[in-house]
Every structure is written in C-alpha cells, then in structure tokens.
C-alpha cells in the first residue's frame, strides 16, 4: 500500500543492567534470487520469463441422490476454458480422504485446500443471536476443520465496517482465539493489526496527497479506512439504516472482487439476521401516501417514515444485485446461518404460515437470495446450528482438484469454465470461471489491502507472489535496552524491480507469549548508484520472549515483492560486566545497499563494519576450510577493559576451537565493535553453532554469545 515514511518505533521497557548470554536463531537460509512476481497469475511458481501457470479448480461430484462419487480419475473429467477443451496435468482426489495425485504437472503450484471465511454480522444481528453465532462458530472450529484447511475470521459492525480479524490460516487455534473473544474480551488477530496499520497509513496518504488522487479516493475504501483507523464513523451514517445497509452490501461486493484472484472455492459461513425485505423488494401491496396534518407534526412524521420504509430502495437493490454477481464470479458460496430471533407466530421453516407484516421486516429473503445466488445454502436458525454445520461439512468435504496449464496473461479477463463428468449418472458442481490477474496498480485500494494481507500472512500467497528473501533475527542491546534486529537480503535483480519511488519495507512482529502483533514500516529509498542488491533492517525495542517475524519489501505501484520469515526466542539474561551480542557473519562483497528506518539502524552502523568491503552472510557456507569475517558488538561495564576473544564451532556432538584474529576495533563510550577473522578448519555439512567468548585479560568477568550457520 502507498504510505508515508513518518513512523518510528516506540521505545520499549528499559533494560536495566548490561546483561549476559542470549541465543540467536538464524532462519530461512533459502538462496536469494529470481525476479519479483508483479501481478502474476495465482498459482504460478515460476519466474517472470516463464509464461505458463497452473490453473487449479475444485469440482464436487455426486450421484443424482446427492452421495459423493469417490473413484473418479482424471480421465473421467472434461474441462473447457472459454469453450476450448484443455488437457488436465494435475489431479487430486479429496473424496476418499487421500491425496491421489496424477499425473505430474509441467508447472508447480500450491495445493488447493478447503478455505472457510467465518463472517459475523454485528450490524443487523441482536446481541443474543450474536452470542449464539459465536457458539456455532466455535463448534465449527472445534469439530469440522481438518489439518490443512484454511480459515479466516471477518466481521461487520456499524462502527468499524468490515474488520479482517484473521486472514486465511491453517493455524486454527488463532482463529478460535479471536472468535472466543467476541463479546467477552479484546483480542486482535494478526490480520486486524495489519489492516488497521495499513488503513491508518492510507488515511495519512489521502490527507497529505489528496491533490494527487485522480478522481478522488474510492468512497467505500475511504469510509473503511477512517472507521478502522479512528474507530468512529459519521454520526449520520451510524443512524441511517439505509446507508448502513448500502455499506454492508458494498462490503460483500468489494470482498467478492478481491477474492476472485484467490484460487479455488472460498466458502463463506455468514452469521446474520439479514437486510429488511421491504428495503430491497418493497413492501407487499405498498402503502397509501400519508395525509399531511399540520396540526400534528409528530404523527405526520411517523406516517411519512413508515411510508418511506415501505418503499424499496433502488440504490440498495442495485448494489445487492452487484454483490451477488461478484460473489458468484469469485467462486465464494455463502452458507448462511440465519440469526434472526423468531417472533410471534413466525415460522421461518414454513413461510406460507408466516404473517406478511413480519416478513416485511425480516431479512430472511435477502439471506436466501445471498446463499442461492452465490451457490451456497441457507440454514434457518442458530438454534439448530449443529445440523447446519454438519451439512456444511458434508457439502465441502468431498471434492476433486483439476489442474491445467494456462498462459500467464495480466489482462484481468474473465475465463468461463465448464466441467463435465463423462461417467453417466454423475452431477458436478464446479467453479464457473476465473479472472486473469491484472497489473497491481489497476486494483482498487481494498483489493490491494487484501492482497497485502495475503502476502504478509499466508504460507502460500495466492495473489502477489514474492521472492523468498533469506532473513535472520537476533537480540541486540542498543543503549542498554534489548532490541530485536531483523534483516533480510535481496539480490540485485529482484531489488531493482522492487525498490523505486514508492516502495516500503514492513515488519510484522508477533509476540507469541502475549499473542500480540506489532507492525512497523519505512520507505525504501533507491540507491544513489543505481540498482543494487540490498539488506533491509529493522531494530525494535522488545522484552525477552518468543517472537515470530515476517518482513515484506513491496513496490506499492507494481506489486513486485520480496518476503522473509524468521523467529527468535530469548530469556531474561543475567547481569554481567560484559555483554556480547550474537556475532554477525560477513562475506567480502561490495556494492550492497543498506536500508533502514534511520542511518543508525543499518547493519554497518550497528556492527561497525565497512559496507564498501563486506555484506552480511545469509546463506550456506561451502564445506572444507574457510576464513570467514565476522562483526561483534560488546557492551562493557568498564569501557577500557582488555579482552581475550576466542571461538568454538560445534556440529552435533563434535566441538572444535576456531582461531580468531581481531582485524579492527572501534569504541564509542561503552560500546565496542570488533571486526574478526575466523579460521575454520574442515567444515562438514550440517547446522553449526558458533560460540564467541570474551574474557578479561586481568581476570575480569567475561561472557559468551552464539549464532548458527549452515554448511552444504
């Protein structure tokens, strides 16, 4: 998303004494390379030069009496794309509980798991029914999901509009934590923290650069951004049922447009009481226009209000139809669990016996159409939610995945798909089509926000396909406080496509002990000498604990992206007169750009090495003898203390000493940085642990620090 580089991390809790040993985890040692995937079709795992992607689709096959057909093969299916028969190159059978794959496809793609979005309507549902919806969702999360199923949690409320609490994730415990907190306590999911941050960023951008907006910002997105970032909406819109309904309906339309690029079925389970029938379709039989009585303005106003409410609203009706179309094209069937409380003689399972007056206010008709038009199913009441959830499980549990190669076009065109089963007596329900990806800049702001959420939180992003950047995370003491320093490296070619006038670095930091997520970002400035490989660095004050990190480098104009993932766990250290941060392994290589929120937070500034000569080592070392440079930070209780520095290398149960040469030393107050040369002997393949020790020459107390590295 477009953003302004105005944010700085808040200071954390003070770290009292300079403290002792802490561990380091060096993560994600994947090789860095390849081009960033700006606007590539979903499912493609290939570089930009390859123009073929794997298109995956799901098909539900039953007998005419609704029983799953478990024994079909790829030869039993015929698929046409825009009327042309295609050759299936990928096949999965999820009917019999296995994952039978045949044959192998020419292009690798992500597996097509079941996807569920739990959508809670808090705008048109009373509190008691909302609690029943919560119970039903917890039941579903506890009994109906399988390992590998992806689940997301969304809600709609008058105050905040659409809130994405948790995006599609296989971590079902995270989704359960969010749902369990509804109405009881505050619990923010990773997606909610991220989207609030991005919305606030957009509000600032829209405010500061309003004159640069062509045609003004999208009104729906503007309302969403202000509600999410400020927690308030205009009072008039809060009080207007019609305006609230229009925003609710627009939410489904925009969600459908954004989900069209996510492959497969996106099963939406909607807990709602629905929109008044009269608002969409008009009151049955109409009403006689009220007589204006000047002597009784209160009665006249009430009569006028009743008359207005009896009329259908053309704007709502049109936008409702648009939402139905978008959801159908996005392959997002809606399974509606009606949360309306039965009133009087109303029998929602027997509409013939229902009074006409009550039906005009009921949202059942809108929910039935929402479910039917999207390919889902309507369930009458949360009082019997177990049967409803069991039915949803049955409907979604048995399916086939069919895959075929398609040209990687970026034109946003719709392709009509038709799936036919050649075996007699079979009924097939499948996606009716898909959209090609389009350039990132052509997506709406809401679509880009959802794509950014997918990029940041999904294990296998479906829309923006990033270069996977090697990343490391370590604890570092800066100014007496513990910080997390996270850095990721991007090679020259992808860096050239990512770093531009509008490119940002984001860090999502999740405290897994507290269950909280923080997001920081800064603007990436193009290197003065032209495109170059680069290292992006975040340094944030934190308390000791267990953290998961993900860094995103994103060109907000083209969608070109890189992504790194890491983790770190460290305990409260004991006080000591010498503190060693984990050593930073280097390699002799010039020409790397160093990106940080401020010049003093780049790796060369933190560790005191010359960026014209060295770059951080992120990747594997070759086996055999190696001479490896390393940077070491030491915080000293006595700044003038003389230290002996030694090192050991451990591989499994074997440990060997490593000769150390101190090449250069710099000191500023109590911080000393050293450039070391480590002379490894015969390095063997595996994960090694390097331990650096610093001891006072006069017998003063010392300390140690460790890091890991890989040898191949």
Same domain assignment for residues 83 and 157: no
- Do 283 and 238 lie in one domain? The reply is yes
324 to each of 58, 245, 416, 437, how far by Cα in Å?
20, 15, 17, 21
d(CA 265, CA 668): 59
- pLDDT category at 47 given cuts 50, 70, 90 is very low
Confidence check: pLDDT of 267 > 80 = yes
- The verdict on residue 8 lying in a domain is no
CA atoms within 13 A on the CB side of 4: 12
**Given this model, what pLDDT does residue 604 score?**
94
pLDDT (average), residues 70-95:
91
In terms of domains, do 221 and 311 share one?
A: yes
Give me the pLDDT at residue 236, please. 44
Q: Let me know whether 588 and 707 are in one domain.
A: yes
Query: For residues 691 and 648, what is the distance between their CA atoms, to the nearest angstrom?
Result: 5
What pLDDT score was predicted for residue 217? 52
First to last CA, the chain: 38
- Place 17 in a pLDDT band, splitting at 50, 70 and 90: very low
193 compared with 92, residue with greater pLDDT: 92
- Regarding whether 524 and 613 lie in a shared domain, the answer is yes
User: How much is the pTM?
Assistant: 0.72
Same domain, 229 and 350: yes
Same domain for 540 and 509: yes
Whether 517 contacts 188, CB under 8 Å? yes
405 and 327 co-located in one domain: no
Containing structural domain, residue 70: 52-112+400-442
Are 214 and 254 members of one domain?
yes
Residue 460 lies in a domain: no
459 in a domain, yes or no? no
**Do the domain assignments include residue 77?**
yes
Same domain, 328 and 438: no
| Same structural domain, 222 and 360 | yes
The total domain count for the chain is 3
Angstrom distance (rounded) from CA 56 to CA 325 = 22
In a domain, 42, yes or no: no
Q: What is the CATH number of the domain that holds 355?
A: 3.40.50.410
pLDDT bracket for residue 413 (50, 70, 90):
confident
In a domain, 596, yes or no: yes
Domain boundary among 409, 442, 475: 442
pLDDT of residue 353: 38
Judgement on whether residues 151 and 289 belong to the same structural domain of the protein: yes
| Phi-psi region at 391: left, alpha or beta (left = phi > 0; alpha = psi -120 to 50) | alpha
């Amino acid at each position: 998303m477009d953003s302004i580089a105005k944010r700085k991390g808040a200071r954390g809790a003070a770290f009292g004494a300079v403290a002792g040993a802490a561990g380091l985890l060096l993560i994600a040692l994947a090789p860095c390379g390849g081009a960033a995937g700006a606007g590539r079709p979903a499912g493609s795992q290939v570089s930009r030069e390859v123009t073929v992607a794997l298109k995956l689709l799901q098909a539900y096959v039953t007998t005419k009496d609704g029983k799953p057909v478990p024994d079909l093969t790829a030869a039993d299916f015929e698929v046409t794309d825009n009327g042309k028969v295609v050759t299936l190159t990928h096949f999965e059978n999820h009917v019999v509980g296995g994952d039978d794959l045949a044959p192998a496809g020419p292009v690798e793609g992500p597996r097509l798991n079941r996807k569920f979005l739990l959508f809670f309507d808090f705008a048109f549902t009373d509190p008691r029914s909302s609690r029943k919806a919560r119970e039903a969702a917890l039941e579903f999360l506890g009994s109906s999901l399988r390992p590998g199923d992806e689940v997301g949690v969304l809600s709609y409320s008058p105050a905040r509009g659409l809130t994405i609490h948790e995006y599609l994730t296989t971590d079902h415990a995270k989704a359960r934590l969010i749902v369990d907190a509804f109405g009881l306590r505050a619990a923010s999911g990773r997606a909610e923290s991220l989207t609030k941050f991005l919305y606030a960023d957009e509000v600032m951008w829209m405010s500061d650069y309003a004159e640069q907006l062509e045609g003004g910002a999208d009104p729906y997105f503007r309302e969403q951004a202000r509600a999410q970032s400020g927690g308030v909406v205009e009072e008039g819109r809060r009080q207007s049922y019609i305006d609230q309904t229009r925003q609710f309906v627009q939410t489904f339309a925009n969600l459908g447009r954004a989900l069209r690029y996510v492959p497969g079925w996106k099963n939406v389970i909607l807990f709602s009481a629905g929109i008044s029938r009269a608002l969409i379709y008009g009151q049955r039989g109409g009403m006689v226009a009220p007589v204006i009585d000047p002597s009784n303005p209160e009665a006249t106003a009430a009569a006028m209000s009743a008359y207005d409410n009896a009329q259908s609203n053309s704007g709502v009706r049109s936008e409702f139809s648009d939402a139905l179309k978008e959801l159908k094209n996005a392959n997002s069937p809606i399974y509606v669990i009606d949360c309306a409380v039965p009133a009087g003689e109303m029998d929602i399972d027997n509409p013939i016996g229902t009074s006409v007056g009550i039906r005009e206010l009921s949202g059942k008709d809108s929910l039935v159409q929402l479910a039917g038009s999207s390919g889902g199913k309507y369930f009458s009441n949360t009082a019997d939610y177990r049967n409803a959830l069991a039915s949803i499980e049955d409907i979604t549990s048995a399916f086939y995945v069919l895959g075929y190669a398609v040209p990687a076009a970026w034109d946003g065109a719709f392709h009509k798909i038709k799936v036919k089963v050649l075996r007699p007596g079979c009924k097939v329900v499948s996606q009716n089509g898909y959209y090609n990806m389009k350039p990132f800049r052509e997506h709406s702001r809401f679509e880009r926000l959802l794509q950014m959420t997918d990029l940041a939180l999904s294990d296998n992003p479906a829309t923006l396909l990033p270069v996977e950047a090697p990343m490391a995370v370590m604890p570092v003491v800066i100014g007496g406080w513990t910080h997390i320093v996270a850095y990721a490296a991007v090679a020259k070619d992808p860096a050239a496509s990512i770093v531009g006038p509008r490119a940002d670095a984001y860090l999502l930091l999740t405290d897994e002990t507290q269950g909280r997520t923080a997001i920081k970002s800064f603007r990436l400035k193009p290197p003065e000498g032209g495109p170059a490989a680069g290292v992006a660095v975040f340094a944030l004050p934190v308390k000791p604990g267990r953290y998961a990190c993900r860094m995103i480098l994103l060109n907000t104009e083209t969608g070109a992206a890189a992504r790194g993932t890491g983790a770190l766990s460290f305990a409260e250290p004991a006080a000591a007169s010498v503190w060693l941060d984990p050593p930073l392994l280097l390699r002799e290589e010039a020409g790397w750009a160093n990106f940080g929120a401020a010049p003093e937070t780049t790796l060369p500034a933190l560790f005191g090495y010359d960026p014209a000569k060295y770059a951080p080592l992120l990747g594997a070392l070759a086996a055999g003898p190696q001479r490896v440079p390393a940077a070491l930070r030491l915080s000293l209780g006595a700044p003038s203390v003389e230290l002996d520095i030694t090192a050991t290398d451990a591989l499994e149960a074997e440990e060997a000493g490593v000769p150390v040469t101190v090449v250069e030393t710099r000191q500023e107050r109590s911080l000393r940085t050293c450039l070391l040369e480590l002379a490894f002997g015969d390095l063997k393949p595996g994960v090694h642990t390097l331990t650096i020790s610093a001891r006072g020459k006069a017998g003063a107390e010392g300390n140690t620090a460790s890091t890991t590295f890989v040898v191949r």
